[in-house]
Amino acid sequence: MTIYKATTIAGSDTSGGAGMEADIKTFQELGVYGTTALTCIVAQNPNDNWAHEIYPIETGVIEKQLATILQGIGCDAIKTGMLGSRDLVELVAETIDKYKLRNVVIDPVMVCKGIDTIMVPEAAAAIKELLVKRALVMTPNLLEATYLADMDGIKTIDDMKQAASVIHDKGCRYVIVKAGDRFPGEEALEIVFDGQKFVEKRHPKITDAYNHGAGCTFSAAITACLAKGMEVTDALETAENFIGPALYRSFRLNQWSGALRHCAWRE
Ligand code: PXL
C-alpha cells in the first residue's frame, strides 16, 4: 500500500484550531501521512483576552526540520502557513528549488482574525517576491489578495478576478481568492483562476460558525489531495466538501474562540 505524505511549514496554534494542528488533523482525516516543520509557537493569553503571543523558532532549527523531512523522508506535497520573517521565506524558496518541489501550496498567512493589517510587512513582501512564483496553488483571503496584487482594496467580484489575474501573472499557477463571509449576501464566494478562465465558486454562508483555522484547514485539504495525486480542480472540490461539514459542526472552546470539527465529514 502506498502511503502518501504531506508536509506543512507552519506555526503551532496551541489552542489546536489553526496552524500546524489544523494541518495535520486535516492530513490525517484525508488519509495522508503528515510531517511538520514548525516555524513558531502561538500561545493565547487567557489573562489578556486571548491575545495571540508569537514565539518564533530560529531559522536554523527550521532548516534542520526541513532536512529531516525532505532529505530524510520525502513528501508528495507541501504547504506553508505562518512564516514570520524574510529569512524564513528565503529558506522556504531555497528549499522548494533545492528539492524541486512541485506540489506547493502557499497559504499566504499575513493577517489573523480580527487584525486587519499585515502582521510582518517584511515577510509579506518576501512572500510576494519569492513564493508567488513558486506556488502551484495560492489561497489568499481578500486582504492578502489585495496586498499580493498591489491593489487598494477588493470590494466586488470583478476586483477579486483582477486580483487573481495579477497574482497569476506573478507566476502562481492556480489562484483561489477567498471572500469567505466578507461580502454581503447569502453566499460565501471564491474565485479560482488558472490563467485561462475564472470559476466562481459559491457556497451557502454558514452563519454562526466558529471559523478559526478555516483557512489553514482548507489549504491543508488541498495539499493532502495533491499528495494523493489528484489534479488541482479535483483537490479543490474535495477541500470544499471537507471544510463545509467542519464549519457546520464547529464548536465553542471558550468565550473567545471556537474550532472547526475536522472529523465532521465522516460523521
Ligand atoms: O489562521 C491563521 C493562523 C495560522 N497559523 C497559526 C495561527 C493562526 C491564527 O491564530 O495561530 C499558528
184-233 residue pLDDT tens: 889 999 999 999 999 999 999 988 889 999 999 999 999 999 999 999 99
Residue of 23, 39, 42, 88 to mutate, ligand 1, most atoms within 8 A of C-beta = 42
Q: Is 24 in the pocket of ligand 1 (CB under 6 A)?
A: no
Cβ-based burial of 59 (10 A; exposed 0-12, middle 13-18, buried ≥19): middle
pLDDT at site 182: 86
Q: Is 38 in the pocket of ligand 1 (CB under 6 A)?
A: no
pLDDT at site 115: 65
pLDDT at site 118: 84
Averaged over 236-252, what is the pLDDT?
97
Q: Is the predicted pLDDT of residue 49 greater than 90, yes or no?
A: yes
The DSSP code sequence of 79-94 is EE----SHHHHHHHHH
Give the tens place of pLDDT for each residue, 63-83. 999 999 999 999 999 999 999
Nearest to 203 by CA among 225, 236, 228, 227: 236
Residue of 8, 13, 260 to mutate, ligand 1, most atoms within 8 A of C-beta = 13
Closest atom of ligand 1 to CA, residue 11: 12
Averaged over 156-178, what is the pLDDT?
98
Residue 96 CA to ligand 1 centre (angstroms) = 22
The rounded distance, in Å, linking the Cα atoms of 56 and 34 is: 21
Q: Is the predicted pLDDT of residue 116 greater than 80, yes or no?
A: no
Averaged over 19-39, what is the pLDDT?
98
Give the tens place of pLDDT for each residue, 130-158. 999 999 999 999 999 999 999 999 999 99
pLDDT at site 208: 81
Which domains does the chain show, CATH number per domain? 5-257 (3.40.1190.20)
Cα pseudo-dihedral 111, 106, 248, 199, rounded to 10: 110
Cβ contacts of 52 within 8 Å, gap of 6 or more: 42, 43, 44, 45, 112
Radius of gyration of the chain (CA): 17
pLDDT at site 180: 85
Q: Write down the number of H helices and E strands in the chain.
A: 8, 11
Residue 40 CA to ligand 1 centre (angstroms) = 10
Quote helix, strand, coil % in the chain, to nearest 5: 40, 25, 35
The rounded distance, in Å, linking the Cα atoms of 180 and 137 is: 18
CA triplet 250, 6, 210: central angle to 5 degrees? 10
Q: Is the predicted pLDDT of residue 112 greater than 80, yes or no?
A: no
How far CA 260 is from CA of 3, 140, 217, in Å, comes to: 26, 19, 9
Mean pLDDT of the residues in the chain = 96
